[in-house]
Structures are given as C-alpha cells and as structure tokens.
Amino acid sequence: MSATLLVRDLELETKTALQAQAARNGRSMAAEVRIILRDALLSPKDVPLNAAQHADRFFPPEIRLTEEEARLFDEAVSRIEGDLDPPDFS
C-alpha cells in the first residue's frame, strides 16, 4: 500500500538542492524523496550496505553495478587482509 505526502512551506534552497540531487541521480524529485525517507527511516544502521546498495543510493541506474558485479566486488574486498595505508597525494 502506498500513501501520498504533501510537504508545504519547503524552503526554496531545500527544493533546489532536492532537484539537483534528483537530477544527479537520474530520478524524479518524488522518487528522490522516497529514497531519502526510506534510507533515513527504515535502513538498519548496524547492517553494512553492499556495493550494489551503495550504488542504488548514489548513482543513476545506467551506471550501477549488477548484483553479480557487486557480489564479486564484495568478495574481492573481503579477501584483502590487514590494514592498507591510504595513498599519499602530497
């Protein structure tokens, strides 16, 4: 079951930022709001996201990893042992 939500008195700055974020993610404003609300309210904070779940949040659909690619990526990352030093860009 779905519901309709009307938001009144949204600041112009917030609306503009929402429009920009939705455009970056290749989504409508309504779809972006649904994802923001879902992630903020329903995502368990103690369960790590896999690569595909991260991609769903940040990248438009045409450049996301497939489930298989995400699984392979997660497997490869899990085989890395020890602490890795970050690159030095200085």
Q: What is the pTM of this model?
A: 0.50
Question: What's the confidence (pLDDT) of residue 63?
Answer: 76
Burial class (CB in 10 A: 0-12, 13-18, 19+), 33: middle
Q: What is the pLDDT of residues 23-79, one digit of tens each?
A: 998 899 999 999 888 888 876 666 677 766 776 777 777 777 777 887 888 888 888
